Amino acid sequence: MASTSPPPPDRVLRTCPLCEAHCGIRVEVDRAAGRIRRITGDPDDPLSRGYLCPKAHGLIGLHEDPDRLRRPLLRRGDERVEIGWDEALDLAAEGLRRIRDRHGADAVATYLGNPNAHDVGSILYGPPFQRALGTRWRFSATSVDQLPKMVSCCLLFGSPGLFPIPDVDRTDFLLVLGANPLVSNGSLMTAPDMRGRLRRLRERGGRLVVVDPRRSETARVANRHLPIRPGTDALLLFALVRVLFDEGRVRPGRLAAFTRGLERVELLSRPFTPEAVAGPTGIAADEIRVLARDFAGADRACCYGRIGTCTQEFGTLASWLVDVLNVLTGNLDREGGALFPRAATSPADDTPRRRGRVPLGRWRSRVRGLPEFAGELPVACLAEEIDAAGEERVRALVTIAGNPVLSTPNGARLARALEGLDFMVSVDLYLNETTRFADLILPPDSPLERWNYDLIFHGVSVRQVARESPPVFERPAGSLPQWRILLELAARLGGTDADSLDELLLSGLIASAVGRAGTPAEGVTPEAARAALGDRPGPERMIDLMLRAGPWGDGFDDSREGLSLARLREHPSGIDLGPLEPRLPRILATASGAIELAPEPIAGDVPRLEARLAELARPPRLVLVGRRQVRTNNSWMHNVPALAKGRDRCTLLVHPDDARALGLESGKPARVRSRVGEVEVPVRISTEVRPGVVSLPHGFGHGAPGTRLRVASRCPGANSNLLADETRVDALSGNAVLNGIPVEVTPL
């Protein structure tokens, strides 16, 4: 189905969708040859200001990759054959319906990978597809990533999406735990050019403190680096809280009027004195006290924790304590502290519906009883739900832009489980380590062939902006965008046609967006809004609706000042909506309408941390942590020559003291073994990791039989998730433990 839009110009302004920064880019195209001449940063982008990391150049290789699938692939025995879209969609829907009718809706599971967050079509049309399937067995990359932060935010503020974002451009003191924003350009903090932002922090007299087992790229530019023992961030944060109470430095300011639980936090913190946690964390008690005093004494400070604080045994407690520290010092919801962004597509009336029951543990997995959160189960239990759940087991799986064999715990067990499925469908660009088990692969178009709007990442940005991303190339005949694939599947499963379902979805959005008092669309009828949006199907008119009814919207009146899709197109580099602003207490969605600083589920998990104090003081000989790299994003980009070239980046970092004790040599291979698996990987001896810690990046491990990844398979690397134990999870959220894995390392 070819696009009916006019041909794009020779220079297209849009954003790069390959990481959370979503930098503005200029794509220059040779239309006659149908190729990209070059990609450069857009200096007029209000957020990235011309900055660009190497990943953007990988867009060319991704678009032109001969291994990228262009037509649906059907598995027939040991062969893969291309088929047409109508046949492929019919077969996919029939297979899923057959399993559902015979064994119930929960015999079908879904897995959504991280790239879905970068595609507006997946965000808007994924939920209708899930509803059409009817299954509660939903999994995603969330539970090997930010799930503890979502649980914590939901309990404290009432919504899993209310993330406090560091006001990094105005802060005087930034405390970073378990994050490497110089490489990630932020994570749950969309912030292109973090090097420049941190340099400006230092230039204005501010301070940066990084807590990390590795002297990461961010730690190297910090005023202070504290090499913590992996998995003990909650202990350090609790000790900082304890110092604030002991020394009379608790000053929540205006937050006190709408914060409940201060007294209970004080009680919970009592066992975690600096002296008690110094041994387990590896950070001296005096250093902890100095850090607490410096943080509390700064004019404007912010504590920021990310994936390293989430993917550990006490991930929810650590995530919670990050926000507790900001609240106790009055740095939540203030300039230079941590603020809640307001996206242009968010409801104009931001007074939320008060939440009654928190969506945690409303149902549980069959085998281990892991809790659901916000409609998803932890992916750490996916394999066992296929291979060990008896007659009620998962028998069919749909993966959407995900490679869980490489990115979830104990990938070897999951690979064996996928072989035993009755039916599997993958919506994916590649025949990779996961999709090789699929009966059908439905490949969407290239990211450069689709329209996009950064729906999620505008909502976690360090500055409020709005920008659309037009396609660079017309979508070729015989391809479909991901939103259309999901819509067609949902329609077939629901017994309707795709266009009718699309209209139904749009009508529901209109009904919830217009006619609200005090909003730009207050006097607008659903009929008037529908007429203003036009007839072109898909996500563009949905985003137009959200913009026009949103806080900066034009209320569906072209004569008024305000945002609309047409207005964005007049500003192809985007529109700057200004810095973040305080929004509390009006956006709090807890039942009480207050910040619940000591919610019962979290308070109930603190004794587990206290009980581990003595044991954590005696860490195992070696533990494994991950690390991020600027040329990759999980397992996405290893088949792109421009990003995969150069030195081998899948190496095991080992401290010289450990290398000597173990007989390891730099450049030579070693065997790394955990309770569940082993890998072989070259050693790199470096003082950037603390003694007792080894570091291996994740997302590698390519070259499995049946894949079609010629570049990635030439330098496959080691799959670190073969070492991750699927039975080790954060007890409260069920998030996988991917940092602090006990391992043995031996030379080969």
What pLDDT, in 10s, does the model give residues 386-422?
999 899 999 999 999 999 999 999 999 999 999 999 9
Tens digits of per-residue pLDDT, 97-116?
999 999 999 999 999 999 99
> Residue 564: in which H helix or E strand, if any?
none
* Region of poorest pLDDT, from 113-122, 154-163, 230-239, 617-626: 617-626
All residues at 6 or more sequence positions from 254 whose CB lies less than 8 Å from its CB, including other chains: 330
When comparing pLDDT for 200 and 3, which is higher?
200
Our measurement of the distance from residue 84's CA atom to the centroid of its chain's CA atoms, rounded to an integer in Å, reads 33
pLDDT tops 50 at residue 465: yes
Tens digits of per-residue pLDDT, 234-279?
999 999 999 999 999 999 999 999 999 999 999 999 999 999 999 9
Residue 703: pLDDT band with limits 50, 70, 90: confident
Q: Does domain 620-747 have CATH number 2.40.40.20?
A: yes
pLDDT tops 50 at residue 479: yes
Q: Residue 414 is which amino acid?
A: L
Tens digits of per-residue pLDDT, 580-595?
999 999 999 999 999 9
What is the pLDDT, as a whole number, of residue 7? 58
For residues 246 and 636, the answer to whether their CB atoms sit within 8 Å is: no
All residues at 6 or more sequence positions from 525 whose CB lies less than 8 Å from its CB, including other chains: 514, 515
Q: Where are the domains of the chain?
A: 157-340+587-608, 620-747
Helix 120-133 to helix 482-494 angle (10° resolution) is 20
Please state the φ and ψ torsions of residue 319, each to the nearest 5 degrees.
-65, -40
Tens digits of per-residue pLDDT, 157-213?
999 999 999 999 999 999 999 999 999 988 899 999 999 999 999 999 999 999 999
H-only helix segments in 570-724: 600-603, 606-611, 613-616, 641-644, 656-662, 710-714
When comparing pLDDT for 3 and 465, which is higher?
465
For residues 470 and 17, the answer to whether their CB atoms sit within 8 Å is: no
Q: Which SS3 state, helix, strand or coil, does residue 652 take? A: strand
Our measurement of the distance from residue 265's CA atom to the centroid of its chain's CA atoms, rounded to an integer in Å, reads 29
What is the pLDDT, as a whole number, of residue 6? 58
Residue 355: pLDDT band with limits 50, 70, 90: low
157-340+587-608 belongs to which CATH class?
alpha beta
Q: Of 452, 396, 449, which is closest to residue 426 (Cα–Cα)?
A: 396
When comparing pLDDT for 631 and 428, which is higher?
428
Average of per-residue pLDDT across 26-33: 93
Give the number of other CB atoms < 10 A from CB of residue 595.
26
In terms of residues, how long is the chain?
A: 748
d(CA 239, CA 226): 14
For residues 739 and 230, the answer to whether their CB atoms sit within 8 Å is: yes
d(CA 680, CA 683): 10
Tens digits of per-residue pLDDT, 277-299?
999 999 999 999 999 999 999 99
Average of per-residue pLDDT across 530-544: 95
Residue 8: pLDDT band with limits 50, 70, 90: low
By the 10 Å C-beta count (0-12 exposed, 13-18 middle, 19+ buried), 452 is classed as buried
Residue 633: pLDDT band with limits 50, 70, 90: confident
What is the pLDDT, as a whole number, of residue 353? 74
What is the pLDDT, as a whole number, of residue 57? 87
